[in-house]
Amino acid sequence: MQRVVQEEERKVESAWFRNVNPSTCNVDIVLTKLMENSLRERSSVIEGMVNLAFILLGEKAAKGRETSAEKLWRLGISVLVKLVKKHNKVTGCVLQRLTDCIISDQAVTQYTDCLHQLSMSVPLVLNEYRSSIITLLEMLTQLPGPVAENVVYAVLPIVRSFPSLRDVLIMVLRKALFARNVGTRKMAVSGFLQLLKHLDVKGLAVLSSSQSSYHSSNPRQSPGPSLLTQIDMETGNSSSNNEAICLELLGVLRRCFMQQADVRLRLYEGLHSGVTRNPELREYVQDMLINHFGQFYESDTDTLPPINFTKAVVLKDISVELLEPLGHLVFSLQQVATPNSSDSSPTKIISVLESLCLRMLKCSLEDFGLDETTNLLDVVPESQQKQEIVCQILGVFEALMGYTVSSCTVDTSAEKVRKLNGLFKGYRMLAEFAKNNGKAGKKTSRDSDTQPKKMDVGKKATGKGRTVAFMFPHTVLDCHVTYKMLCILYMNSVPWCTAEAANCVKGRHEFSSYVMNTTLKLVKASQDEKRRKKSTSMLTSFVNIGRLLYTNCVIRLREFSQLHVGTAALALECFNELFSLMCSHYEDKLEQFLEEVGTVPVREGLTEQLLALVSKYEENLTSVLSEAGDDEDDPLAKKIPLLLIQGLGLFTLKIPCNDASTTVLNWVKTFVKDKVLSDVYLVKAILSLLFKLEVRCKGSSQLFDHITMQLFEIMGTVDEDEEVQEHTSYCIVRAGCESAVLSQLCDTVSQMLKHVDWVLSRLQAEYTAMTHAVSDTLQAKREILKSRECDVVHQVSHCLKILNYMSSLALDPGPTTDAVLKLLTQQYINLTMLTKYFILRSNKGNPAFQNARFEMVVRLAGKHLSPHVYNLISYIEANQKKNKKNGIKKKKAGPLLIKSKVLRETRFIPNLIFEIEQFEKLVIELSKKSKVNLMNYVKLGTYRDFRIHSNRLHTTDDEDQNVSNASDAVVDGVEAQGKGCADDSVVKEPPRKKARKQ
């Protein structure tokens, strides 16, 4: 099943792979038929299906294979849900095994998702086996915090329907609220908030009409009040009972104010959702929050600042402790402070928030205890306290800006906008102070222990020390507030703000950049969440933001960029991230999202909706590049075309492989052929998209050959006599970006070779199965096998031609050369596997490789590719020796360059030579077995042989001849001088000593 899932993914990536493997069975349909037709009175089959489902759920999500693992998990969950629906007797076994897996395993997301699906689909069946649910709930305090939170979320559909299970959960959560582990306490708070969110004060949430009749026959499941409720309510009214439970939950949550800051932060983040579902609880929540906030609030209207921040951030010995996340507390206050339409009189909490706004507007840096001498990045505790206080002040400013926007009405919009501008001015003043404070400060590794838990500093290695910079805290705002800010900035009219008031904000580029950047961070944070709890309110906010960005930013990108290019880049990136978020977390809602964002309705299909986005991005990309002459040095202006290309890739790769995707491919080809891009990153991005589409839409293509031959003209060749064939030139491939082009080409060919390896393994398995099978269709299967062998050989030949050109390039030592050597090694490994397969398939009477034209592969590899590879290796080594001989002085190489050189000298080249020799050895073996002479197509390697370089030999001979002539001349001169001096003096030699007789 894992191979089936991976094959489906590869079919999407490669047109050749789809042609070779045209049909694959639908595992879900097969298992469904098996469960429907073969499970009656067959306990062994049922047991086997349960085991199979848990094997699928137990698949590990390896890096790079998360998507495959998630598909297998969904398949396992589907099998278990269908089994429990059809055969209730397996429920106890399933629940027990789920409980064991959740308790024992570390990665349990798939098991909790399965439990959630069962709770949603068959709550009455699960209630019959509630002992297993109770056992799991009692284990919550012993589970890691995130796992326990997922368990609580999974059992909520059944817990809210049955009072006995609800009482057990409340009792366990109250116990967990005072556990020793902080993660367990945070889980308890999340559990109470989830209960509060799913209980209706004015609704029959305890029992439905169908469940009431069931409980009437089960006295053990009395629909009475909670056993833990300490408030006396009428038991006959379920609505009152729900109100009592909700008030009890709020009473328990009030005790969170005695907990650590992290626990309280979890309370502030989720309290608003319960109030939104039950507006009747708003008053209770307001009183609870405002009474707690009174500990830090300065009631005197003349006191600045209005909050005592030193009470929230305190010193303990040499460390700094955050007692209260004031930014999140103020934001939670403003969330529950919206007045009811029936009561227009301001409440106490609104008065406090208004006073906060007015007084924070008047605050200066001196009021916060900051001045030019303040060093936020020092390691002393006092500086760390100041640093954390600055973070809390920034959070309070953000929360008050959120309140100003949320409480804005037509009548008060002018005043609210003035306050918004003033609050942002104060926020920006403090942010600039923190950003510019202590830029040259340094710290050592010993200082890290004194950093507060909440606040980290950014570090960058420079010389002996590390420069540090102020790291801004995460925003306290949510997507709902940022959407309202975006509406003021970019919509022509909104019902809750006048046009005159909105115009006071629209011209402020700093504020628009801040809002767009905050929205982008919120979307990225939602995409990184692993729990993937799909919230309807969050989905609504995402759809609203996407519609606003597309209508006012993407469609009018040219006008938008002229106003502020930085904000335009942020808007494009935010829209791309939103689309990725919808594809990963809300894939079933993607068509509805595109309908709301664009103008193409759902009935016209996903392809038409995506083509509308692609068309707009293509138009914007052409327009931006044609006008980029004046902004070539602006990094933000360069980022916009890169984001457009990334968006094109996101949209195009979601389009099914049909004529529509071919149309996009043709446009990209024309673009690459005609456009000249100066930025290497743009070249790399557009070529990556082009190569993916080419592999995805066409089984075979000459594109890669033409681009490689164009690299001949730019980089040169190892063999000067190499002739460049006629080819199509692409303007985007130019001098200066050859490394980026070659890197993308290597990645693409590597992916093609992986597809060949996969199909080859499949062919080998099918051939092994056919050798032991007896069937009437065996001959037809053999013919299909031969056809697929021809396809494999043709694809390998195509890759060989590309690598033949690539190995002739004059490559300089570096990462690109390493990539080429690794790719060549992968190609010879592929050839070795193919040769082994034909050794298995062939014999003297049946040389099967001849039907597949395997001789062509041997000829291409042996006569053409191998000599080029040996020449390339010699060229690389000659360049290295030449650089050493000439004594070229270079700067001290970094660790990456040193590592690359060592790998190339000790691993890449030896491995490549070894794989070439292995391939040649197997070709000889295939020749002997089939009695077909394949050695005519192979030129044995000579790299390990003793070699005499004729050019070097001639050079050496000439040097020796010159030296010999010079020596003769010197000797002749010496002899002539000796003859002239012989007559004047005779040098007598001393007499020789006689040898002693032994």
**Strand ranges (E), 259-407:** 313-316, 319-322
- Under the banding of pLDDT at 50, 70 and 90, the label for residue 845 is confident
Please, are residues 686 and 732 in contact by the beta-carbon 8 Å criterion? yes
The verdict on whether omega for the bond into residue 123 sits within 30 degrees of 0, i.e. cis, is: no
Judged against a pLDDT cut of 60, whether residue 650 lies above it is answered with yes
Within 8 A by CB and 6+ apart from 775, the residues are 781
- Under the banding of pLDDT at 50, 70 and 90, the label for residue 212 is very low
By C-alpha distance, which of 190, 326, 312 is closest to 253?
190
- Backbone dihedral region for residue 880 (phi beyond 0: left; psi -120 to 50: alpha; all else: beta): alpha
Distance of CA 955 to the CA centre of its chain: 58
pLDDT value at residue 669: 92
pLDDT value at residue 107: 74
User: Does 934 or 980 have the greater pLDDT score?
Assistant: 934
Q: How far is CA 995 from CA 700, 992, 998, in A?
A: 93, 9, 9
Model confidence pLDDT, tens digit, residues 816-835: 888 999 999 999 999 999 99
Please, are residues 686 and 744 in contact by the beta-carbon 8 Å criterion? no
pLDDT value at residue 562: 84
pLDDT value at residue 955: 61
Question: What would the two tokens of residue 9 be?
Answer: 């993914």
Enter the DSSP assignment of 937: G
Residue type, 639: K
Please, are residues 388 and 369 in contact by the beta-carbon 8 Å criterion? no
Judged against a pLDDT cut of 60, whether residue 432 lies above it is answered with yes
pLDDT value at residue 852: 81
DSSP 182-200: HHHHHHHHHHHHHHHHH--
Averaged pLDDT, 514-522: 95
pLDDT value at residue 892: 53
Q: What's the mean pLDDT when you consider all of the chain?
A: 81
Please report where in the chains the tokens 């690299």 appear, as a residue: 711
Q: Measured between alpha carbons, how far is 981 from 974 in angstroms, rounded to an integer? A: 11
Enter the DSSP assignment of 803: H
Please report where in the chains the tokens 């050019």 appear, as a residue: 951
Q: Measured between alpha carbons, how far is 207 from 220 in angstroms, rounded to an integer? A: 15
Lowest-confidence region among 30-39, 59-68, 784-793, 949-958: 949-958
Judged against a pLDDT cut of 60, whether residue 765 lies above it is answered with yes
Judged against a pLDDT cut of 80, whether residue 175 lies above it is answered with yes
pTM of the model: 0.85
Judged against a pLDDT cut of 70, whether residue 687 lies above it is answered with yes
pLDDT value at residue 231: 41
Pairing of strands 319-322, 313-316: antiparallel
Segment holding 826, helix H or strand E: helix 815-841
Averaged pLDDT, 928-947: 70
DSSP 435-495: HHTTTT-EE-GGGGGGS-SS--EEEEEETTEEEEEEPPPPP---HHHHHHHHHHHH-S-BT
By C-alpha distance, which of 865, 882, 870 is closest to 913?
870
Taking the CB of residue 597, how many other CB atoms lie within 10 A of it? 25
pLDDT value at residue 337: 84
Please report where in the chains the tokens 């059944």 appear, as a residue: 158
By C-alpha distance, which of 617, 742, 723 is closest to 667?
617
Judged against a pLDDT cut of 60, whether residue 453 lies above it is answered with no
Judged against a pLDDT cut of 90, whether residue 961 lies above it is answered with no
Model confidence pLDDT, tens digit, residues 363-415: 999 999 888 888 888 888 888 999 999 999 999 999 999 999 998 888 888 89
Segment holding 995, helix H or strand E: none
Question: What would the two tokens of residue 361 be?
Answer: 């507007």
Q: Measured between alpha carbons, how far is 968 from 945 in angstroms, rounded to an integer? A: 38
Count of positions (residues) in the chain = 998
b/e 566-582 (16+ beta carbons within 10 angstroms → b): bbbbbbbbbbbbbbbbb
Question: What would the two tokens of residue 585 be?
Answer: 């977390």
Lowest-confidence region among 79-83, 472-476, 869-873, 896-900: 896-900
Question: What would the two tokens of residue 15 be?
Answer: 């047109």
Judged against a pLDDT cut of 60, whether residue 997 lies above it is answered with no
The neighbouring-strand residues paired with 137 are: none
Question: What would the two tokens of residue 525 be?
Answer: 């944070």
Report helix, strand or coil for 219.
helix
b/e 885-919 (16+ beta carbons within 10 angstroms → b): eeeeeeeeeeeeeeebeeebeeebbebbbebbbbb
pLDDT value at residue 184: 92
Please, are residues 158 and 91 in contact by the beta-carbon 8 Å criterion? no
pLDDT value at residue 219: 39
- Percent over 90 (pLDDT), the chain: 35
pLDDT value at residue 886: 57
Judged against a pLDDT cut of 90, whether residue 545 lies above it is answered with yes
Within 8 A by CB and 6+ apart from 18, the residues are 11, 657
User: Does 639 or 42 have the greater pLDDT score?
Assistant: 639
User: Does 962 or 376 have the greater pLDDT score?
Assistant: 376
CA distance between the termini of the chain: 98
- Backbone dihedral region for residue 967 (phi beyond 0: left; psi -120 to 50: alpha; all else: beta): alpha
By C-alpha distance, which of 442, 487, 446, 448 is closest to 464?
442
Judged against a pLDDT cut of 90, whether residue 512 lies above it is answered with yes
Segment holding 725, helix H or strand E: none
Averaged pLDDT, 912-916: 90
Q: Measured between alpha carbons, how far is 349 from 286 in angstroms, rounded to an integer? A: 7
Taking the CB of residue 399, how many other CB atoms lie within 10 A of it? 27
Segment holding 321, helix H or strand E: strand 319-322
User: Does 441 or 520 have the greater pLDDT score?
Assistant: 520
- The pair phi, psi for residue 619, each rounded to 5°, is -65, -45
Judged against a pLDDT cut of 50, whether residue 663 lies above it is answered with yes
